[in-house]
Amino acid sequence: MNNSLGIADLIVFLAYFTLVASYGYWIYRKKKKDVTDTKDFFLAEGSLTWWAIGASLIASNISAEQFIGMSGDGFFVGIAVSVYEWLAAIALIVIAVWLIPIYLKNKIFTMPQFLKKRYNDSVALVMTIFWLFLYIFVNLTSILYLGAVAINGLLGGQYLHVIMVALMIFALIITLGGMKVIGYTDVIQVSVLIIGGLATTYLALTIVSEKFGTGGSALAGFNDLLRLAPDHFHMIQDKPSVISATIDQPENLQIQKYVILPGIMMYLMGQWIIQINYWGCNQYITQRALGADLKTARTGLLFAAFLKLLMPVIVMLPGIAAYVLYQNGHLPQMGSSSKDGAYSAILGFLPTGLKGLSVAALTAAIVASLAGKSNSISTIFTLDIFKKYIDTEADEKKLVWTGRLAIASSMIVALIFTWNDTLGIGGEGGFTFIQKYTGFISPGVFATFILGMFWKRTTGAAAMAGIIVGFLMSVFFNSYAVPLFGQETWLYTAFEYQKMDNGVVKTFTEIPFLIYMGWSFVFTALAMVVISMFGPKVNEKALVLDKGMFKLEPRTIVMIIATLMILGALYVRFW
């Protein structure tokens, strides 16, 4: 096993870098005459095809938190973590059918703009600040940190900060050209991501088969995983029989897994909030479709839904392969690292050349997500803060340059906070860190958007209360519920477990965040309903909906049915 890159790997990687940078520059030069227009810079209005929208959605979504974090949870828990990918397919269908028509009909370009149009300026401003903090201090930082750690492991472990800076510069090259450059370079990025990711999975499975003498094929390797790690191939985690365990008890590991993925309850509680909020109420994602017509946007979203079904093969299976190899003594270097080291450890087995392709796939995911996230930060800051509150007379050119400065500034702030892992991303576990802390604002945002779209009585006061109550309820359940009410109530069960943290055994008591996220949403929605009942029966800013907005073409219906049938078959097999 070789943990460094050879000459052939570097050639493959540099070829990828040159291809993406050259294509991005060509797109930028071709469309240069439009670059002073804000709608073109931030939304690439009307110029992205359905396949470019779908590819850009996936390239922006699949990043270090999936390759590193989800692979790590695959190592730790198994196929159950695929819920984040497979339920996303259903969420994308929901967005395509019901939410995107509302955005497009009302000419919504940013999520704060929707809140202003449906509620008022105050709601939009508060939510804008929440989003900016979330995107910079949770998303950008985790993507940059996890990506740098992974690539650094392949280069001998001595270049972490150099890699951070390089990733930031690469992302800046793409992002400063605007959404059009991001959208079309993402087609290359997602192609490299899928090809390189599938190659890594294929080789990982063949390595497993070779190590256990079952023929050296990928299919044999997959059967080896089923045979040697059957507990890693169940979508539903059983609830632990105890609520407290020490590090030397077998129940301790079961509790840790359940806290991350709490069985059937996560499907009834937090998963839907995460999914629909992420894909439908998130500037970072919806921005790709907001510049298109309804037919193109819908097809692009459904194309992304189909691709999501494939993602666990790329980002989760290598983690299970690493687990089986580690458990049988074939991956000793995993002994001193966290679960987030699983993907890098697998890459160490790959032959020269292919390793370069896999690193290119990983880099593609990281750079695409950094570019998409920073562009969304720029869009929200420029259109919803700078133009509205700082320089209301700014012309198009000034707004574009303000957007570029916002991109560079957000990247630099993220770099500062990832330099020494100030936020503790490595200790939390990358994928869990993002899902948990995003969940602090998800219930309030989700309730505000859904009630605002489909209940005409919802008021601006209710929306403001919803945003605040959702956040406070999440903080309450995370930090104060157990000390006040104990480990077990009719609302939740808090589990106590122990794990090693920098060589020290520490005790943690947690309510599964996917459970309390669901309750936070319930209490938030109830508060909004009660407050709205004191207002008029139809709020003056209620959206006008008509059935024609949601009518589907036969081709769209076929795509939806095909996706649901594949998803159903997967759940029947791995329930």
Q: What is the CATH number of the domain that holds 335?
A: 1.20.1730.10
Calpha distance 407→401 (Å, rounded):
10
- Checking if the pLDDT of 1 tops 80, the result is no
Q: What is the pLDDT of residue 28?
A: 65
Identify which of 153, 166, 172, 569 has the alpha carbon closest to the alpha carbon of residue 378.
172
> Do the beta carbons of residue 374 and residue 407 sit within 8 Å?
yes
Supply the pTM of this predicted model: 0.83
In the block, tokens 């309030």 appear at 444
Residue 159 lies in a domain: yes
- For the record, the structure tokens of 219 come out as 């299919």
Calpha distance 265→263 (Å, rounded):
5
- Checking if the pLDDT of 178 tops 90, the result is no
- Checking if the pLDDT of 351 tops 70, the result is yes
Task: Render pLDDT for 402-451 as a digit per residue (tens, 0 to 9).
Answer: 888 888 889 999 999 888 888 777 666 666 677 777 778 889 999 999 99
Helix orientation angle between 218-228 and 317-327, rounded to the nearest 10 degrees: 60
Q: Give the domain range for residue 143.
A: 7-574
Read off the pLDDT of each residue in 554-558 and give the average, rounded to a whole number.
93
User: Which residues in 179-205 are b (16+ Cβ under 10 Å) and which e?
Assistant: bbbbbbbbbbbbebbbbbbbbbbbbbb
- CA torsion, ordered 45, 50, 52, 56, to nearest 10 deg: 90
State the chain's mean pLDDT as an integer: 84
Residue 1 lies in a domain: no
Q: What is the pLDDT of residue 387?
A: 86
- For the record, the structure tokens of 211 come out as 């190590």
Residue 525 lies in a domain: yes
Residue 489 lies in a domain: yes
Alpha carbon separation from 280 to 46, 283, 295, 389, 450 (Å, rounded) = 20, 8, 17, 26, 10
Calpha distance 304→82 (Å, rounded):
16
Q: What is the pLDDT of residue 308?
A: 92
- Checking if the pLDDT of 64 tops 70, the result is no
Read off the pLDDT of each residue in 175-192 and give the average, rounded to a whole number.
65
Residue 37 lies in a domain: yes
Task: Render pLDDT for 32-56 as a digit per residue (tens, 0 to 9).
Answer: 554 445 555 555 455 578 888 888 7
Q: Strand, coil or helix: what is 249? A: coil
- For the record, the structure tokens of 350 come out as 């790959």
Task: Render pLDDT for 269-293 as a digit per residue (tens, 0 to 9).
Answer: 889 998 998 898 887 677 777 777 8
Residue 264 lies in a domain: yes
Alpha carbon separation from 114 to 96, 292, 347 (Å, rounded) = 17, 17, 44
Cβ atoms within 10 A of the Cβ of 351, count? 12
Calpha distance 285→307 (Å, rounded):
15
Q: What is the pLDDT of residue 189?
A: 66
Total number of domains in the chain: 1
Calpha distance 125→389 (Å, rounded):
10
Alpha carbon separation from 70 to 65, 313, 365, 493, 530 (Å, rounded) = 6, 11, 13, 25, 39
Residue 371 lies in a domain: yes
Residue 74 lies in a domain: yes
- Checking if the pLDDT of 379 tops 90, the result is no
- What's the first-to-final CA gap in the chain, in angstroms? 35
Task: Render pLDDT for 192-233 as a digit per residue (tens, 0 to 9).
Answer: 777 878 888 998 899 999 999 888 789 999 999 999 999 999
Q: What is the pLDDT of residue 334?
A: 64
Q: What is the pLDDT of residue 309?
A: 92
Identify which of 394, 435, 515 has the alpha carbon closest to the alpha carbon of residue 138.
435
- Checking if the pLDDT of 131 tops 70, the result is yes
Instruction: State phi, psi for 287 to the nearest 5 degrees.
Output: -55, -30
- Checking if the pLDDT of 507 tops 70, the result is yes
Identify which of 331, 4, 338 has the alpha carbon closest to the alpha carbon of residue 157.
4
